[in-house]
Amino acid sequence: MPTKVNSFIKRTITGVIFVILIIGSVILSHWAFAALFSLVVVGGLAEFLKISRSLGAAVNRKLLILIALIVYWALTLIFFDVIAYSNLIYFLLIVPVFMASELFRKSATPFLNIVYGIVALFWIVLPIALLNGFFSFAEGLAWQKSGALLGFFLILWIYDSGAYIVGSAVGKHKIIERVSPGKSWEGLAGGAAAGFLTAFMVSASFKEFSLIQWLIIAAIIIIFGTLGDLEESLLKRSANLKDSGSILPGHGGILDRFDAVFLAAPVVFIAIVLFRGM
């Protein structure tokens, strides 16, 4: 019991610090948020590269991080209306560049390196970059145009906390025990209830979307956030690791903290685009 209590305290303190950093950056400006999450991209890639090495790959670290930052900031500048959407066509060069780079490296796993590099871009970099697209770009201060982004994080955080608390207390029936022994259906149900309740409250404060649309966003976060968590657990189990890193007390690494975002953010982004088109 003391171990669980200490783990919960560490997790809570780390979570509070993250909440302050994220909300603080949003209030400061969308550029501050983008800069903060560029660090998340680099940290997540560093952990992914470490795990990929243990699985037999030898991805070109410097090239991957360079391309990742180019992709991240290019998408961010497009979302912030600094450069045109037509520049997305240059992203088609990513695969040829990765493949060509392996010709000049003495690696026993060239195609595995390419695959891991491309997976990292689509699984980590793209979803984090899409968060910058949640800003509405309305006139005014950053917090006045960030309802979609703050609502997304509030639902995700409270869903995650609810799932953790309920699962730790009464979780008995595992979702996929071989992948994640700690994830239970009871925790999922508790987290879902907390997530939908949060969506209801968020709809009263952030008017970007209707109550039904916020509930749809909550459902997406619950489903794909859970899948994202399980996918990251599958990666760690493949490498016989408990955590992706140790930089975040109570949470593990960057990948552990943002695993739900990686699959939920793209689907929520699609939903937001569809909502705006209605």
Give the pLDDT confidence score for residue 154 in this predicted structure: 93
Name which of 27, 4, 16, 18 is nearest 261 in CA terms: 18
Residue type, 172: K
Name which of 206, 210, 230, 51 is nearest 138 in CA terms: 206
- Give dist(CA 251, CA 12) in Å, integer: 9
Contacts of 55 (CB under 8 A, 6+ apart): 238, 239
Could you report the per-residue pLDDT of 190-230, keeping only the tens digit for each? Answer: 999 999 999 999 999 888 899 999 999 999 999 999 999 99
Q: How far apart are the first and last CA of the chain?
A: 51
Q: Is 148 exposed, middle or buried (0-12, 13-18, 19+ CB in 10 A)?
A: buried
Give the pLDDT confidence score for residue 249 in this predicted structure: 65
Give the pLDDT confidence score for residue 172 in this predicted structure: 85
Cβ(200)–Cβ(215) below 8 Å: yes
Domain count, the chain: 1
Cβ(249)–Cβ(18) below 8 Å: no
Cβ(101)–Cβ(231) below 8 Å: no
Residue type, 183: K
Could you report the per-residue pLDDT of 62-76, keeping only the tens digit for each? Answer: 999 999 999 999 999
In the predicted model, residues of the chain with pLDDT beneath 70 are: 1-8, 11, 136-145, 245-246, 248-251, 278
- Give dist(CA 9, CA 58) in Å, integer: 37
Per the structure, the complete domain to which residue 245 belongs is given by 2-277
- Give dist(CA 210, CA 216) in Å, integer: 10
